[in-house]
Chain A
Amino acid sequence: MYKAVIIGGSAGSFQVITKILSSLPQNFHLPVLLSLHRLKHVRSGFVEALSIKASIPVIEPYDKDQIKPGKAYLAPANYHMFVELGNKIALSTEEPVNHSRPSIDLSFTTAAQVYRDKLIGIILSGANKDGAYGLKKIKDYGGIAIVQDPEECQVKTMTESSLRLTKVDHIYRTNEIIRFLQNLKP
């Protein structure tokens, strides 16, 4: 019944993402969009690092690539990553938002506008408030909002900002996020 999962994270989220990607079933039935803060001038290495343990393919998409189930799409360095009508990736070099490009708020907001109540948004550890507004938009459109338990986060700012702005559906530790995704029915 859902159409996509979108995950936002920054400082302290890398190991959590790695665990999630390695725990998904190989035939996971949804696309996973990853909007993660990263060094803007380092184009290569990140997708390779995430791919090592992932059980589904991790791709750094090109502009207008079709979004397909069972694949993870990592926002490329120094681009915003949007979801475009027609279930496509759209990239943008517009000015940074919350000092960030990719901006989690923009990825989440555009995904919410396309997938509406069929979207699951997850905010992980991070050191700024980017993502808080985007998670609110997912909730406003009727999607599911999940925040990593701040007690477990290496850096709490992002999750706490999200919790201040939105009445979320779940506050989960990493293993609970994984169980939630594993139990999703096609």
Chain B
Amino acid sequence: MVRYEIGIVETRNVIKTLLETFDYDFSDYALTSFKRRLEDIIINNGLKDADGLIYRLKNNKDYFEYFLREITPETTEMFRDPSLWRTLRDDIIPDITRTSGKLKFWVGNFDSGEDLYSLCITLNELGILNESTIYCSIISNVIEHKIKSGKIDFKQVETNEANYTRCNGDKNYSDYVTVNNGMATIDTKLIENVTFLKQNTLFNNCPNSVKLLLFRNQIIYYNQSLQDKIINNISNSLVAGGYLAIGAKETLDNTNTSNKFTVINDAEKVYKKKTG
């Protein structure tokens, strides 16, 4: 069985449609993973090829939000990289609480809920969830509904629980998640006060005075020029001295933005924005 493969020209045609019809610019997404996701969408939606996808996009406006969900990889694991979450809980967030001004946190990457709930659990266990202002970027309304429903893919529960245990938290993962008839649901009270920010691909909806910005495993989906552009854009949201955490195998060294930041923890890829 041979899997459908989309060509470069067809990929450009889809990108052109997305820009002209919806004003969403995917032209500087990293090509390999973007092509693969287009192929998945075409295969899973029973569309024959790129032209079939373009036709669906142009003729069914409701389909676009589903497309946005599908084109964005799910984050799939709560507390991915437990050592980062320990660093946030034990060092970074306590440092933030010693500064003046509002406690503002932003899950900037297009999360499917995992990073957001992990952050809220961490803030809850530090006793500062209620006084924190939390923003979460979303690219699709479909994802916002999913996050607000608290539903977790049952297959992920075991991974999430193992990660949580490796964080050496005060509680048990099961304190936050109920499992019933093969369905897992997380306590949605955790995200009661979260503000969701609908973004386009260029992040047109950024908050200000943020103290900690999670932007994990997002720039891996960009080419280098888009990495430069987006990191420059979102770093404007951070206060001087604010923290940025990116994915464990992402680096600002391959962008033109590394001079704006000091490396705080190289293994966990936590950076601090320089003053001025």
Contacts and interface: CB of A to CB of B under 8 A. Distances in A.
A41 B161 CA distance: 13
Contact of A65 (B76, B166, B254): B254
Contact of A91 (B81, B220, B223, B224): B220
Contact of B33 (A64, A76, A92): A92
A78 B221 CA distance: 16
B41 interface: no
A79 B249 contact: yes
Nearest to A76: B249
A84 interface: yes
Nearest to A106: B36
B32 A85 contact: yes
Nearest to A136: B2
Interface string B31-74: 11100110000000000000000000000000000000000011
B37 A94 contact: yes
B92 interface: no
A180 interface: no
B73 A93 contact: yes
Nearest to A93: B217
Interface in B195-227: 217, 219-221, 223-224, 227
Contact of B251 (A43, A63, A94, A133): A63
Interface residues of B, number: 32
A95 B217 CA distance: 13
Given A84-B31, A84-B32, A62 B73 contact: no
A103 to B, nearest CB: 11
Interface string A51-74: 000000000111111000000000
B248 interface: yes
Contacts of A94: 33, 36-37, 73
A174 interface: no
Contact of A90 (B80, B163, B220): B220
Contacts of A83: 32
A110 interface: yes
A90 B74 contact: no
A186 B43 CA distance: 40
A41 B85 CA distance: 13
B73 A63 contact: no
A82 interface: yes
Interface string A144-180: 0000000000000000000000000000000000000
B247 interface: yes
B249 A92 contact: no
Interface in B1-39: 3, 30-33, 36-37
14 contacts: A41-B166, A43-B248, A62-B253, A63-B249, A63-B254, A64-B223, A79-B220, A84-B32, A92-B220, A92-B221, A93-B76, A94-B37, A95-B73, A113-B32
Given A60-B249, A90-B220, A95-B76, 13 more contacts: A41-B162, A62-B251, A62-B254, A64-B227, A64-B254, A76-B249, A78-B80, A84-B31, A90-B33, A92-B73, A92-B220, A94-B37, A95-B74
Interface of B: 3, 30-33, 36-37, 73-76, 80-83, 162-163, 166, 217, 219-221, 223-224, 227, 247-251, 253-254
